[in-house]
């Protein structure tokens, strides 16, 4: 399988697990296999999800600038502005 290169601030879609088809923002790259992701709703900045890269797809070319004062609301607004809706009914 081709290695997915990810950087912080990129939008990714989960393709496996109970969060399948949900959009997230990469918060931190841990190593060559794992990243931390958050969506600002179910997975907040206080509780990011550790996910394997092979279970993710790139969602968009847009990147979010991760600053020191980033809020969960900022992530939700960014994903919505890029056309990704993470409704609880999915």
**Tens digits of per-residue pLDDT, 45-55?**
999 999 999 99
pLDDT > 60? residue 90: no
Q: What is the pLDDT of residue 89?
A: 54
What CATH number does domain 10-81 carry, 3.30.2290.10, 2.30.30.30, 3.40.50.1860, 3.40.228.10?
2.30.30.30
In percent, how much of the chain has pLDDT > 90?
A: 76
Count of Cβ atoms closer than 10 Å to residue 73 Cβ: 10
> Any idea where the domains of the chain sit in the sequence?
10-81
Q: Give the phi and the psi of residue 21 in degrees, each rounded to 5.
A: 70, 15
Judged on CB neighbours under 10 Å (0-12, 13-18, 19+), 42 is middle
Query: What sections of the chain are H helices per DSSP?
Result: 72-81
pTM confidence score: 0.89
Distance CA 65, CA 68 (A): 10
């Amino acid at each position: 399988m081709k290695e997915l290169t990810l950087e912080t601030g990129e939008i990714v879609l989960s393709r496996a697990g109970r969060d399948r088809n949900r959009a997230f923002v990469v918060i931190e790259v841990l190593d060559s296999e794992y990243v931390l992701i958050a969506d600002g709703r179910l997975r907040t900045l206080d509780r990011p999800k550790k996910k394997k890269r092979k279970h993710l797809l790139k969602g968009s070319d847009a990147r979010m600038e991760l600053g020191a004062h980033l809020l969960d609301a900022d992530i939700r607004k960014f994903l919505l502005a890029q056309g990704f809706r993470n409704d609880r009914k999915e």
